[in-house]
Amino acid sequence: MNVTEAIKGRISTRAYLDKPVSKEVLTKVLDTARWSPSGTNTQPWKVVVAQGETRQAITDAFLDAQKNNTKPNPDYDYYPAEWVEPFKGRRFECGMALYQALDIGREDKVKRIEAGLANYHFFGAPVSLFFFIDKRMGKGSWFDMGMFLQSVMLAAREHGLGSCPQASTSDYPDLVREKLGVSDQFDLICGLSLGYPDNEQAVNQYRTSREEVDSFTTWCD
């Protein structure tokens, strides 16, 4: 698999086979990703791999929080307080494409809620990686974390794995830190569901659109 294929073929996988991922494969993925760039080689990433009972405990904690109407308290604002165009339109288009793939109508509130809660089940993936960063690091290090996350997702493809980065799993960072034994010195950036994709499922067959190069690029001679 070449780099172009790895990038263009990556999707947010939301259905997985009931097949475990070995520690050997996970180590190889992270061993590749550790060569990601970072400012002055600070390597600000901290990763915790959650599987089995630990992952289930996090799922249960998330679902309890939702059931009790606990207000999310993420360590940072992922989305803007107010949506404006063109971002608002792109977000709407993305959501509609997902619901169509899941065969969920616009008025079907029950299924929409169920689709949202699937995030907390990690879409049935056998592994969830959680990414943390030391609170003392600056915005530049968050940029480094983005590059590291991309490297993890692309390296995973080489081993036949699918992945889905999930900002939703950072809604309750205190719960995650508690279950994983992580100090509150670290901000939770996101979780990443990881496993072998079930390519027969429609939710893994739809694609979101991308803007053409000239729409976001200015050429200065």
Determine the topology of domain 3-78+122-201 in CATH.
Answer: NADH Oxidase (3.40.109)
For the whole model, what pTM was predicted? 0.94
Q: Quick: pLDDT tens for 138-151.
A: 999 999 999 999 99
Task: Provide mean pLDDT across the span 112-116.
Answer: 85
- The CB density around residue 156, as the number of other CB atoms within 10 Å, is 28
What whole-number percentage of the chain has pLDDT above 70?
A: 100
* Residue 192 binned pLDDT confidence (cut-offs 50, 70, 90): very high
Task: Provide mean pLDDT across the span 156-178.
Answer: 96
pLDDT of residue 40: 97
Q: Whole-angstrom Cα distance, residue 141 to residue 128?
A: 22
Q: Whole-angstrom Cα distance, residue 18 to residue 198?
A: 9
> In 34-166, where do the E strands start and end?
46-50, 127-134, 162-166
Q: What's the distance, Cα to Cα, between the start and end of the chain in Å?
A: 35
Task: Provide mean pLDDT across the span 96-102.
Answer: 87
Domain residue ranges in the chain = 3-78+122-201
* Residue 72 binned pLDDT confidence (cut-offs 50, 70, 90): very high
Q: Whole-angstrom Cα distance, residue 103 to residue 115?
A: 11
Comparing C-alpha atoms, which of 2, 44, 3, 52 is closest to residue 23? 52
Q: Whole-angstrom Cα distance, residue 41 to residue 165?
A: 24
Output the CA–CA distances (angstroms, integers) from residue 194 to 88, 113, 164, 206, in the order listed: 28, 22, 7, 18
* Residue 107 binned pLDDT confidence (cut-offs 50, 70, 90): confident
pLDDT of residue 123: 94
- The CB density around residue 109, as the number of other CB atoms within 10 Å, is 10
Q: Whole-angstrom Cα distance, residue 221 to residue 213?
A: 17
What whole-number percentage of the chain has pLDDT above 90?
A: 88
Burial class of residue 134, CB neighbours in 10 A (0-12, 13-18, 19+) = middle
Q: Whole-angstrom Cα distance, residue 95 to residue 78?
A: 17
CB 110 within 8 A of CB 10: no
pLDDT of residue 193: 97
Task: Provide mean pLDDT across the span 206-217.
Answer: 94
Q: Quick: pLDDT tens for 174-190.
A: 999 999 999 999 999 99
